[in-house]
Structure 1
């Protein structure tokens, strides 16, 4: 973690408006809900999911790239990759293990019978929402290891939604429910400091030069 002195040094280079915006957004961020995408081969969909996470205040996204290793499309993400913490995993098993160790309930999204309807979903426990490929959905590994199953109620002939649309609907519903609940969903002070430093480090193109300048001064 960066020193408080270094963070203050960087913050002093922001405009007062930008500094206030950082504080405002930090106070609305959560790690109570996180998102994982499993080998989503249409890159713009992963990028759109990242953008939805930023919009609805979800700070961490986990991207599993076991089969499809590609760079996140910056143009589609519209800069959201600067503000959302991206965690990359080489395998589904590693991602599930990592999230379980952090105390997350593994939640598989599926349109099939037996899944809990979105409006009834219990958000009291920290949960990691998994989204699969557009064609095949989630892998058997996720489905066999999931602690819960979640679906969006649908009333038409179509049985599935594009992953980016599904993510937006689910995140809007769950984060809205979270904010109106008594759950302690906000970032811890440590998480706030780490997140702020991450944002600051991505806010300056000459960041490495600023690091040197700081050490020269202090």
Structure 2
């Protein structure tokens, strides 16, 4: 059955796709809580992230209810991985810098990074931190400066803050004004999105 789509909806989809950032992504590292995952995906959609990488080796990808994610998962490309080296190697081969959140002495504040460059940020389970095999492959750590007694943000809040910082930098550089996908990729995505 072919779904009918209005011209207004087509224009909305076309506008959103034109601003999607192909080279800004997150790596979800064994984050099991469905509310956190859903909130992260909503932030990805809001700030124009086209796709997210799912690294789940000791946790199961959570079942996401539509109402908690605001259907965001429908608009974000999800790529699953079980091999850290393959995933990171593939991203680096595309010229993507890999960052991870953390609090070591070498960690630098989010404002110190240039997010106009192709970037993937590893978000991990709050209690366990980055999986050791991923940490080995991504030595650059990023943190959000905090002024209170609590040491860290909830993972979904951290994702929103980091992505907003990336958005501010990319928007100032005019990166949302020119599609990051090729014309062919955009046409393919439009066809796919019109049927959703």
Shared fold (TM-score, shorter chain, > 0.5)? yes
Q: Which deviations, in whole Å up to 9, do the C-alpha atoms of 1:158-185 show, x marking residues without a partner?
A: 1111100000010011112111116677
Q: Which structure exhibits the higher relative contact order, with contacts defined as CA atoms closer than 8 Å and separated by 6 or more residues?
A: 2
Which of 60, 68, 74 in structure 1 is aligned with 2:65?
A: 74
- From the CA coordinates, give the structure whose radius of gyration is larger: 1
- Give the SS at the match of 1:27: helix
Question: d(CA) in 1 for partners of 2:139 and 2:189?
Answer: 28
Q: Is the counterpart of residue 30 in structure 1 residue 21 in structure 2?
A: yes
Q: State the shift of 1:71 in Å.
A: 4.2
Contact 1:32/1:126 (CA < 8 Å) preserved in 2? yes
What's the offset of the Cα at 1:140?
A: 1.9
Alignment of 1:1-218 (within 5 A): 13-75=4-66, 76-146=68-138, 148-181=140-173, 186-201=180-195, 203=196
Once the 2 structures are TM-superposed, how far is the Cα of residue 124 of structure 1 from its aligned partner? Answer: 3.7
Extract unaligned runs of 5+ from structure 1. 1-9, 204-218
Aligned partners of 1:26 and 1:133: how far apart in 2? 30
Equivalent pair of 2:13/2:194 in contact (CA under 8 Å): no
TM-score (norm 1): 0.80
**CA distances 1:176-217 after superposition (whole Å, capped 9, x unpaired):** 21111166773332332232233234x2xxxxxxxxxxxxxx
Aligned-partner Cα distance in 1 for 2:163–2:107: 17
Q: Is the 8 A contact 1:31 1:60 kept in 2?
A: yes
Aligned residues: 192
Aligned residues of 1:82 and 1:199 also touching (Cα < 8 A)? no
**Deviations 1:83-103, CA, capped at 9 Å, x for gaps:** 111111123333212322332
